[in-house]
Structures are given as structure tokens and as C-alpha cells.
Structure 1
Amino acid sequence: MTEHEAAVVRGEAIPKARVDALLRAVPPRDRETRPESLARAERQRRRWATQVVVADELARRACADRGLEPPSEVSPALVLSIAGPDVADLGSIVATALAHSPAARTLLTELEREQLIPEEAAWEYYTRNRDRFLTPDALRRGVNPFHGATDADFVPYDHARAAITAELRRAAGRRAFFDWLDQARVGVEYAPGHEHPGDPSHPDHEHRH
């Protein structure tokens, strides 16, 4: 691995320039002022950005293997805004990878499309989350969904089923994406200073993904 390479994916080098481009596009989250704290934050930020770039490269390869054609690439400076709930649900690496990488978004969409949601799973979700299916009128009246509510206080299952299935498919697609990424990045080699932020083999590792 040369001094200009951040990682090697299946024998192909990922140049540090791709990591640098992402770092310029995404402002630091940390506002450290002490030199030692700032240096540590920047080390972790570079490791984090490397993971995002590696995820993009792996997604490009996965799309090619599946015959999928992602939309045209955009400049790293045009990284989409990332919603707070997405960071909480996905972790900042995956959330940023999906914002940064057309290939990652294309792959996630395909993985979601592949998920089959059984009817019984949708029905179970409906019956276990009754509070989510109160009618607008029942909500206005302050109906308790778990005590004293009648069938008329709830949106009928047939009306809610499509939205439930879509939500379950989305969640299953995200799990499939996580599983794919965990397997795909096995064997990726990293240059010193570009390892995973949570890699316990370096002393300042952390698990803030």
C-alpha cells in the first residue's frame, strides 16, 4: 500500500484523495479547542470518512454484480443533508454513506424491494401497535387505545395494511443492508490512520458510528 492510498478493496486501492474530498464536504461535528483533543477528533473523523468511502466503493461493486445502474455521481460537496433520526437509526457511517453514495442508495432500494413481508407479520404489527392506528376522531377525543376503545376507534386493518407492509419492508431492507455491509467489508485493508473508528486495536477507538 502506497502513501497515497487509504485502503485496498479486493486488490484495488482507494486513494486518500477520495477521503479528503469527503472530509472537505462534511464539516466536523466536534468543536474541540485543545490541540490534543482536536488532533484526536481529526484522526477519528478521517477514519470515519474512510469507512464512508469504502462503503461507497463496495456498493458500486455490489450494484455492478447485480446489474444495477446507480444514477450519475454527484460532487462530494453535494452530500445530502442527513436527518437526525437517520443517524440515530443507522449510525453516522451508514447514514452518511447513503447520503453520499448513489450506489449505496440504489443497493438499499433493491434490498428493500427483495424483502417479502408475510401477511401474518403485518397483522401482528397492527395488533401490537394499536395506538398507532387510532382514527383522527378518536385522537381528538383522547381515546385510550388499550382500555375502553371500540373497533370504530381504529383505522381498519385493510386500510392500514399497505403502509404497514411498506414500513416493515423498509426496516427489513435496512437490516439486509447492514448484513451486506458487514460481510462486504471483511478483508478490506486499511492504511495506518484510516482504520475503523471502533477498531479496538488502536488506543483511541470509539463506537460512535
Structure 2
Amino acid sequence: MTTSDEVSPARILAVAETDVANLGSIVAATLAHSPAARTLLAELEDEQHVPETAVQDYYHRNRDRFLTPEALRRGVDPFSVTAPDDFVPYTHARDSITHELRRAAAHRAFFDWFDRARAGVEYAVGHEHPGDPSHPDHEHRH
């Protein structure tokens, strides 16, 4: 049993590992350790409106993402001659595309908020984050 001061293994990383690369380590750490930041991100996602035309455009520009398993097994080139049944129908893909585009828009809104929120932060010498572009040695890698 853990006390309120201990961190359980399930709470160590509240952000999916695949999202860490997409978000960047500073934002991922914030989301992993701040319920308020996660709530803000969820609210931003709820606020995003994705026009139907954007969803349709995404479907047509990313044909390779919507090949059926059978078409993939046959090695169908989605940008060459194809048959309509080589693709997941738009009506089946629409909701997941909308969700993905809403999530991407929410991340952009969160990044904008995050940049404004930390604009005036001054780090103590030696405690700068090496990935922070405002740090003079931001290309330093560990």
C-alpha cells in the first residue's frame, strides 16, 4: 500500500510512451506529473472543431493509411491503380480521423498555451533543460 507521498509504479508515467516523442520531453513531463495540465489538454480537445472538409481531405491525402488488410497483404500501392474495395470506406474511417485531427489541434493549442505560460520563466544557472530552445546550449544531448 502506498502513502500519499509515495509514487506508485502506475502513476510514474501518465503519458503514453508513444506520445512522449510527439509531445517533446518538457511537455510530456508536464502532462505526466500535472493533473491540471492533463485536464486542460482534455478540455482543449473537447473545444476543437474539425470541419468535415478537413476530415475528407485528410482521408484522400493519406490513402496509404486506409488500405484494407487484404490490400496490404497483396502489396497494393495506394498511389497507383487501385480498386475502391482496397480502402477502408470513408464512413468507417471518419470518426477516427476526426478524433486524430481534434487531438492534433488540441496539442497545438496546448503548446501555444504552454509557451505563453513559461515565457517569463528564468531557470537557475545549471538547471536549464537542454532541449529548451531558449537555452543557449539547446542542442546539447545527453
TM (norm. structure 2) is 0.80
Amino acid paired to 2:95:
A
The structure with more radius of gyration: 1
Q: Percent of pairs identical after alignment? A: 65
In the alignment, is residue 155 of structure 1 matched against residue 82 of structure 2?
no
The code of the aligned residue for 2:138 comes to E
| Separation in structure 2 between the aligned mates of residue 74 and residue 183 of structure 1, nearest angstrom | 31
Distance 2:45 2:94 in 1: 17
- Which residue is equivalent to 1:206? 138
Task: Determine whether 1:97 maps to 2:30.
Answer: yes
Superposition RMSD on alpha carbons, in Å? Answer: 2.3
Aligned partner of 1:85 in structure 2 is 18
Provide structure 1 residue ranges, at least 5 long, that are not aligned to the other structure: 1-72
Distance 1:149 1:74 in 2: 58
Q: Offset of 1:92 from its aligned partner? A: 1.0
Q: CA deviation at 1:190?
A: 3.3
> Displacement, 1:185?
1.1
Larger strand proportion of the pair: 1
Give 1:150 shift.
1.1
| Structure 1 CA distance for aligned equivalents of residues 129 and 7 of structure 2 | 21
Q: Matched residues in 2 for 1:104 and 1:132: separation?
A: 31
- Counterparts of residues 77-156 of structure 1 (less than 5 Å): 78-80=11-13, 83-156=16-89
* Worse-matched range after superposition: 73-82 or 109-118: 73-82
Q: 1:190 is aligned with what amino acid?
A: Y
Which runs of 5 or more residues in structure 2 are unaligned?
none
- Tell me the CA shift for residue 142 of structure 1: 2.0
Greater relative CO (CA pairs within 8 A, separation 6+): 1
